[in-house]
Amino acid sequence: MLQQIIQTLPQVLVDGLTLGFIYAVVAIGYTMVYGILELINFAHGDIFMTGSFVGAGMLFFLLSIGFMSSVPSLILFIIIILVAAIVTGVLGVGIERVAYRPLRRKNAPKLIALITSIGISFILEDAVRFIAELKTGNYILTAPPMFQHRFVLNVHSVFPFFNNATFQSSFLVVSIVTIIMLISLDIFVNRTKWGMAMRAVAQDRETASLMSINVNRVISVTFFIGSALGGATGVLFLIQYGTIDPYIGFILGIKAFTAAVLGGIGNIRGAMFGGILLGVLEMFAAANLSIITNNAMDSGYKDVFAFIILILVLIFKPEGLFGKAAVEKV
C-alpha cells in the first residue's frame, strides 16, 4: 500500500503544485481585499474566469491576423497575459467603484457588500457566457495548444522506489510566472511606499487617512493588483488545461478562498502557502484516497479529505496557519 503511494508521489507533486500555484495566486486576491476592507469579494473567482476568457479572445484574435507565425509563442504568451491582467485589473477597479464604494460611503453593513459581490459574480458569469456564445456558438472554449512539449522527469533511475513523472512545458510556464508574481507582490507590499500605505489602511483605515493617505486610492490600487493577478492566473489556467467555461471561477474561487482561510485570511504569504498546500493535498487525495481507505472511499471524496484537513487546522489554530490571533484591546 505504502509502496504504491510512494511510487506515484513525484507525479502527484508535479500536478499538485500546478493546481496549488493557481489556487495561491487567486487566494491572494481574496486575502488582499479582505485585509483592507474585511470584505469577502466573491466576485474574485469570476474575475479569474474573465481573465482566462480575455486571454482566449486575445489568442484567437492574434491567431486570426496571423501573428502567431511571425513571433515565438513565448512573446505571444507575454502579450496575452499582460493584456488579460490589465483588462481584469481595470474591471476589478470598476467593480469596486460601481458596487462596493457607494455601499462603503453609506456605511452599509458588511453583509450587504457580501451579497453584492455574489450578485456581481453571477453577472460576470452570464455576461461572459453570452459573449462567448455570440462569438463561437459554444461557451466551452478550447484554446489552440501552446507549450505542449512533454518532459519526462526521470526520477526512477535516481530513486528506484519512485515512478517517473511527466509534465508539459506549460507546467514550467505556470510555475515560473506564478513565482515571479508572488515574489514581486511580496516586494511591492513590504518594500514600497504604496505597499506601506496598503498595510497602514489594512491596520486602521481612519488613522491611515489622518496620515494623509488617500484611502480610496489605496483601495483602488489593491483591487487593481488583486484582480490583475487573478486575471493573469486565468490565462495560466487556459495554457495549462486548454479548456475553459464561464463556470470555472465558482469552484476554483471557493477553493482559493479556503486556501486563504487556511493560510490566515488577510495574510499574503499565508495565502500563497495555503494555496500550494491545498493543491497538493487535493491531488494527493485524488490519487491515493482509495488506496488509503482500501476502496471504501474513491477519489471523488478528495474535497472532503481536503476540507477535513482545513477543519482540523482551524480547530487548533482558528486564525489560520500564518494569521495572527486578534487581540482585543480594551
Partner 1 sequence: MKLKRIIPLFAVIALVVGLIAGCSKSGGSSGGLTVIKIATQTPLSGGSATLGEAIKNGAQLALNDQQKAFNKKGFKLVLAPYDDMADPKKGVSNAQAIAADKSILGVVGHLNSGVAIPASQVYEQNSIPMVSPANTATAVTDRGLKTVNRICARDDFQGPAGASYAVNTLKAKKIFILQDQTPYGSGLASAFRDEAKKLGATILGYQGITVGEKDFSGVISQAAATKPDLIYYGGVYAEGGLIIKQARQQGLNIPIMGGDGMDSSTTVQIAGSAVKNVYFSTVVGDITKTATGRKFADSYKATFHKNVEGYSAYGYDSAGVLLKGLMTAIDKNGGKLPTRQQVTTAVRGVQNYDGIATKVSFDSKGDNKFAKIYIFKFDKAAYPATEQTEITKQ
Question: Which residues of this protein are in contact with partner 1, per CB under 8 A?
Answer: 4, 7-8, 11-12, 15-16, 18-19, 129, 138-140, 142, 145, 150, 152, 163, 166, 168, 237, 241-245, 247-248, 250-251, 282-288, 290-291, 295, 298-303
- In whole angstroms, the minimum distance from the beta carbon of 296 to partner 1 comes to 12
Q: Tell me the longest C-alpha to C-alpha distance in the chain.
A: 66
Q: At what angle do helices 193-203 and 2-37 cross, to 10 degrees?
A: 80
Nearer to partner 1, 53 or 237 (CB): 237
Which residues make beta-bridge pairs with 168? Answer: 150
Nearer to partner 1, 147 or 188 (CB): 147
Beta strands 165-168 and 243-244, pairing class: unpaired
Nearer to partner 1, 188 or 301 (CB): 301
- In whole angstroms, the minimum distance from the beta carbon of 44 to partner 1 comes to 18
C-beta separation of 3 from 161 below 8 A = yes
Residue 65 grid coordinates: 491576423
- In whole angstroms, the minimum distance from the beta carbon of 240 to partner 1 comes to 8
- In whole angstroms, the minimum distance from the beta carbon of 33 to partner 1 comes to 25
For residues 262-275, b (16+ Cβ closer than 10 Å) or e, as one string?
Answer: bbbbbbbbbbbbbb
Nearer to partner 1, 23 or 224 (CB): 23
Nearer to partner 1, 150 or 191 (CB): 150
Nearer to partner 1, 138 or 192 (CB): 138
- In whole angstroms, the minimum distance from the beta carbon of 235 to partner 1 comes to 14
Nearer to partner 1, 96 or 125 (CB): 125
- In whole angstroms, the minimum distance from the beta carbon of 52 to partner 1 comes to 10
- In whole angstroms, the minimum distance from the beta carbon of 253 to partner 1 comes to 12
Residue 194 grid coordinates: 504604496
